[in-house]
Amino acid sequence: MALEFNDANFKTEVLESDKLSVIDFWAEWCGPCRAIGPVIEELSKEYEGKVKIGKVNVDHNPKISMDYGITSIPAILFIKNGEVVDKLVGAQPKGNFVKKIEALK
């Protein structure tokens, strides 16, 4: 199950983690976000214990969204050692996520 990141836990769960974090910025009303939701869930199971994979609902967590300049969703940030190391915007096939994760983890 993908983790739920929010304004309260983002610093400890993502920025202070020693693992790669993959964060899907999404909203319930966003069709492409809903389309990649199952892919994010699959990845969270496949990489459990190796990579932190989770979601940030932009409507409920505006601070994180503003901090990272999220203007289009879905936006997927790859964060390692507290820094954004890569980014994907828009609905993507699973293979694109796997390539990035394998290159960055």
Instruction: Give the start-to-end residue ranges of the domains of the chain.
Output: 3-104
Q: Which one is catalytic: 14, 20, 30, 40?
A: 30
Question: Domain spanning 3-104: which superfamily?
Answer: Glutaredoxin (3.40.30.10)
Tokens 């409507």 belong to 59
pLDDT, tens digit, 9 for 90 and up, residues 7-29: 999 999 999 999 999 999 999 99
pTM exceeds 0.85 for this model? yes
Of 32, 9, 15, whose CA–CA distance to 68 is shortest?
Answer: 15
Nearest 5°: CA angle at 66, between 63 and 68? 110
pLDDT, tens digit, 9 for 90 and up, residues 55-67: 999 999 999 999 9
Q: How far, in Å, CA of 4 to CA of 37, rounded?
A: 12
Q: Cα–Cα distances in Å, from 65 out to 49, 86, 99, 103?
A: 25, 16, 25, 25
Catalytic residue status for 20 = no
Catalytic residue status for 4 = no
Q: Which one is catalytic: 33, 39, 43, 51?
A: 33
pLDDT, tens digit, 9 for 90 and up, residues 50-101: 999 999 999 999 999 999 999 999 999 999 999 999 999 999 999 999 999 9
